[in-house]
Structure 1
């Protein structure tokens, strides 16, 4: 019985084995399944990559009926469309907002990236650039605050930059300066040659800058200090050319960041960069669009040698202020040089721009201002200023326009206090500039704060070097945030010595 049972069980086992053999897959079937699995994984990867790396679609600025168009008033509308120099040629306006310094957009960069040919140009726009606006202090960094900050302020600034260069940038990116430090930390630091010893303290803003000259690995905090520095505590040591000197350091630092960011080792850190992006960046590009730019740069072979950093060609000038009753320092674009730069390296369009496409301001010999468009928004500034005669008081002038300080902040004309975004709130203490200009100003002057306004009867001669170009001599004393008390005005021709305005003729070279 046992033998039979065992035989039956053995026979059953043989049947089961036979059944298993019948269910086995052939070699070809296994290969097909493996291929199918690989294709499925590849499909998932492709879908993931497509969602992570998305090529930006150029905005339909002229044909999109739902897009809100910019009102350029009587000014010239910049180019917004046309044949591109290459299929993937993009332009981006990058605005750096300093949260610690009151939100000023003192860093303005216009970048063009020819993805097809792997070339990029980044132009810095000095914050003291004179622009065609309707108010008295015409520095470009006043535009954001004078238009209420926020989205309206950004759009107004976008408009001014577009008119300055003659075309509308495709996209805009607003970056909180804190993002720079966080990106540097995410990269594990950036090697950079700090150009000088830097020592500055501002207890009000809790801003402390202490950096030693030399090449070393900078942390995010180090990087933030280096790019914000302009002069030391005693205000005698710093960049001789003021904000232009700071721009040079910022450009050199950004170049070092680009060079080290393009290394393949940073690709796995994309999640860290995404968090920084979401926290500190406002833009009409998506994060996937920015990832696409990064992918094209790394995989396309973009090198730091093909990324050119330039500063808007400019000349320092001085111009009379109706509000402050003294001479304010600016820089104005060198028209021909800027036009050449726009056509060769910034504009994405094949059709070249002409001088009348750009809204470039200049100061005439009689002290009036003019624009290459033929239209000046501030009609009072389009005529020669009436300055007080020596030893005479001015009758009060009814200046109803808003008052701003040299840092672009709205100021209460009665108290001299800065008006915040909330109309009912006033911030005491004056400027939001993290590092005010020393007494006597700096060549190519930045914002001027911290001293008593010069009296109208004693204007100071700006220096004019050999060759006729002005160095933008800054008045010996500069205004505080509180405008000088409005003295009486006279309609008589001024008899005080004329400080000599810098004349920038838009027609000749540079």
Structure 2
């Protein structure tokens, strides 16, 4: 009888323990399912947030067909065999750094009046077919150009302007006029347009943990609040922005000296991005993505996280060592020693090489 009682108690104990285990497993399953739902919701919200950060302009519709022809590229054999190949053709992207003062962050960083903005920095990024090499051509903002007639948001058009400063195109007609002016002066089709403002650039540098740049001379510029000795410096976002904007403390104080610093900064940023393990650090990846998309304006061909991701993936074989930085050849303008004009035929030869 005693043995039976013990045997019975044993079964009951096992049943109770089994029930507890099943209960714990069930609870763990509920928690795990809940965590997955929350995680999925978080990822969904993050994607929605990043996607809605991006502002866009329909440049193709605004400019119509009166533009240089698109480059024709031949698909590679590997791309043809893939079900959904990444793009591999040559590409020209107009990248503008805007000095917009809209928003508190931009104003604090020294942006322009809240009623308007200028293209403080302009670069044409040419990516070779195969997307393993690239050339970045800086256009001095003080270049005198013939600014074409541009459509305006109100439905009208701007007048043709002769001997106008290059960066005035953005002021009078926004991204559409900036693209049209670049295409008119280069006869090269801009496949895409990307604009980033002051706060976005500074935030991007901070999200990457800063950027290391070597300067060849002392920089002492009270206007940009930048004071650096010649040598290697690890800069935060505010300092990197000041470096990109400084000109009074270097060389002859012209825009041409600043372009050299900007090109160094571009190369340094590319190296920083490639050395930062973003894919293994989701928190940093999101921080970088939020910094970029939060202050980005693109054409409608790049106005989604999916399109930007595809562009990024197509450039995975492009290293910073294969990025060449040059400036559009210019000479002092005969009419104004403080302005420059394209140095022909060198400038035309450069643009022709990008077709």
Which band: TM-score by shorter chain?
Answer: 0.5 to 0.7
In the other structure, the counterpart of 2:24 is none
In the other structure, the counterpart of 1:257 is 269
* Structure of greater Rg: 1
Given the alignment of the two structures, is residue 223 of structure 1 paired with residue 240 of structure 2, yes or no?
Answer: yes
1:228-283 per-position Cα deviation (integer Å, ceiling 9, x unaligned): 11114xxxxx3237211110111011101111211142442211112212332111
Given the alignment of the two structures, is residue 341 of structure 1 paired with residue 334 of structure 2, yes or no?
Answer: no
Higher relative CO (Cα under 8 Å, sequence separation at least 6) belongs to 2
Which of residues 137, 140, 144 is equivalent to 1:123?
A: 137
Whether the 8 Å CA contact 2:208–2:276 is kept in 1: the answer is no
Q: Return the alpha-carbon distance in structure 2 between the equivalents of residues 115 and 273 of structure 1.
A: 28
- Taking only aligned residues, the RMSD between alpha carbons, in angstroms, comes to 3.8
Given the alignment of the two structures, is residue 167 of structure 1 paired with residue 188 of structure 2, yes or no?
Answer: yes
In the other structure, the counterpart of 1:473 is none
Whether the 8 Å CA contact 2:330–2:340 is kept in 1: the answer is no
In the other structure, the counterpart of 1:403 is none
Q: Return the alpha-carbon distance in structure 1 between the equivalents of residues 216 and 295 of structure 2.
A: 28
In the other structure, the counterpart of 1:277 is 292
Alignment of 1:108-507 (within 5 A): 108-114=122-128, 116-133=130-147, 134-147=160-173, 153-202=174-223, 207-232=224-249, 238-240=250-252, 242-267=254-279, 268=281, 269-284=284-299, 285=302, 286-297=304-315, 300-319=316-335, 329-335=339-345, 337-344=346-353, 346-347=354-355
TM-score (norm: length of structure 1): 0.48
Q: Unaligned 5+ residue runs, structure 1? A: 18-39, 55-60, 148-152, 233-237, 320-325, 348-510
Q: CA 1:214 to 1:137, structure 2 compared with 1: closer, same or farther past 3 Å?
A: same
Residue 160 of structure 1 deviates from its aligned partner by: 0.9
Q: Return the alpha-carbon distance in structure 2 between the equivalents of residues 185 and 14 of structure 1.
A: 63
Q: Return the alpha-carbon distance in structure 2 between the equivalents of residues 193 and 16 of structure 1.
A: 73
SS in 2 for 1:262: helix
1:356-392 per-position Cα deviation (integer Å, ceiling 9, x unaligned): xxxxxxxxxxxxxxxxxxxxxxxxxxxxxxxxxxxxx
Q: Return the alpha-carbon distance in structure 2 between the equivalents of residues 116 and 338 of structure 1.
A: 25
Whether the 8 Å CA contact 1:227–1:246 is kept in 2: the answer is yes
SS in 2 for 1:107: strand
Residue 95 of structure 1 deviates from its aligned partner by: 0.6
Q: Return the alpha-carbon distance in structure 2 between the equivalents of residues 328 and 226 of structure 1.
A: 21
- Would you tell me which structure has more helix in proportion to its own residues? 2
Q: Return the alpha-carbon distance in structure 1 between the equivalents of residues 213 and 71 of structure 2.
A: 39
TM-score (norm: length of structure 2): 0.67
1:141-161 per-position Cα deviation (integer Å, ceiling 9, x unaligned): 1112233xxxxx210111111
Aligned residues: 282
Q: CA 1:115 to 1:12, structure 2 compared with 1: closer, same or farther past 3 Å?
A: farther
Q: Unaligned 5+ residue runs, structure 2? A: 15-35, 52-57, 77-86, 102-109, 148-159
Q: Return the alpha-carbon distance in structure 2 between the equivalents of residues 266 and 278 of structure 1.
A: 16
Q: Return the alpha-carbon distance in structure 2 between the equivalents of residues 170 and 282 of structure 1.
A: 15
Residue 80 of structure 1 deviates from its aligned partner by: 3.2
SS in 2 for 1:132: strand
SS in 1 for 2:272: helix
Residue 328 of structure 1 deviates from its aligned partner by: 6.7
Whether the 8 Å CA contact 1:126–1:243 is kept in 2: the answer is yes
Q: Return the alpha-carbon distance in structure 2 between the equivalents of residues 212 and 107 of structure 1.
A: 24
